[in-house]
Amino acid sequence: LGGKNITIARSLVGNYITSLEMAGCSITLVRLDDELTKYWDAPVHTAGLRWGI
């Protein structure tokens, strides 16, 4: 990614939104602007994900 001038701003590693019998991994990349970064960093309180509370 560094060769393409892509910087990783945030990362999550763990069992998020898993599926039954799913093998392997999933990678999601999102281009973040200031507005999306604000939403990403906002407090979250759901059954599967919590932070910033």
Q: What is the CB neighbour count within 10 angstroms for residue 38? A: 10
Provide Rg for the chain, Cα atoms.
Answer: 14
Structural domain tally of the chain? 1
Structural domain of 25: 1-53
Answer whether 1's CB lies under 8 Å from 8's CB: yes
Answer whether 16's CB lies under 8 Å from 48's CB: yes
pTM: predicted TM-score of the whole model, two decimal places: 0.65
Q: pLDDT tens digits, residue range 1-53?
A: 889 998 999 988 887 766 777 777 878 889 999 999 999 999 999 888 888 88
